[in-house]
Structure formats: structure tokens, C-alpha cells
Amino acid sequence: MYYPTTGTSAYKPEIVSPTRKTKGKAVKKKSKNDFKLIVYAALIFIFMFITISRSVHIYGQHAEIEQKTAQLNTLKMENEQMSVDIKAQTDSSIMEQYAMTHLNLKKMDTNQIVYLNQTTDDSMTKIAHNEKDIFGGLFGLFSGALEYLK
């Protein structure tokens, strides 16, 4: 619509605004750009959340690795200490002292020591038999096993 103005013969054009009035309130029309902006903001938020959660997870893993490393170092020190204790306890003089005091053992005299000479070797030889029947073979196998067990 055109409205006449005073002092000039030109008409003033009506400017159409993007807002419309509903019951006295100005309402802005929603456009596709607003929806795209919301979607982009949501995607950025999700990306940042995932990135931060991965960083937190990595930090937690790093803290766990440090804790396990400290436990490993403690166990290594305990292992070394036990190794030193075992070496100290396996010393022959300490064993001898323990045997004399706690077990009431005494040192052997020279007349109590006996040396043994082994005249035969500790081996087994198979004797070949020329028996052809099945009973002789089974008997030989059985007697060989008994001889081995002796």
C-alpha cells in the first residue's frame, strides 16, 4: 500500500519485516538456517565430548600404568631382598649352626665316614633270545620288565 506524504508527491513504500504479530507479540519466522546452526552446534558438541572423553580415558590409563610400575618396582625390591636372605641362609656355616642348636646334631668322627666304591656300572643290557613261540616272547618281555624294576 502506498500512503501519501506531506510536502512531496512521492509515495512511501511499505517495508515488509520478517516478523509477524500474533496477539501483540512479535514472532520471528524459523528458517532452515536456524536448524542447520543447531545441527552444527550439536555435532561440534558431540565431537568435543568424544575428544575430551578419550583424553580422560588416556589419562586414566597413564595413571594405572604408573601405579603398576610402582608395584613392579616394589616387588623387584622384595625379590632382591629375599634372594639375599636365601643366599645368607644357605651358607654352610649357618646350616651347621642351625643343625647343632635346633636339631641336636653333632659332627661326624673320622671313624664314622665310609667311602663306597662302585664296581659295576648302573646300566641294563638286553639278552637276545632265539625263541620263536609267542609264550616265550611274552615271558621274556615280562621278565625283562621285572628285571628293570628291581
Q: Which residues pair with residue 25 across a beta bridge? A: 22
3-class secondary-structure state, position 51: helix
Higher-confidence residue of 138 and 63: namely 63
In this prediction, residue 100 has a pLDDT band, given cuts at 50, 70 and 90, of: confident
Higher-confidence residue of 27 and 149: namely 149
Phi then psi dihedrals of residue 22, to 5 deg: -125, 110
- The mean pLDDT value of the chain amounts to 79
C-alpha to C-alpha distance for 56 and 48, rounded to whole angstroms: 12
Amino acid 140: pLDDT: 74
Higher-confidence residue of 136 and 76: namely 76
3-class secondary-structure state, position 17: coil
Span 78-102, average pLDDT: 86
Q: Specify the amino acid at residue 36.
A: K
Residue in 102, 82, 79, 101 with CA at minimum distance from that of residue 90: 82
pTM: predicted TM-score of the whole model, two decimal places: 0.36
Amino acid 4: pLDDT: 57
Q: What does the DSSP assignment read for 100-118?
A: HHHS---PPPGGG------
Q: Specify the amino acid at residue 85.
A: D
Residue 127 near residue 136 (C-beta atoms within 8 A): no
Place of cell 620288565: 145
Amino acid 22: pLDDT: 55
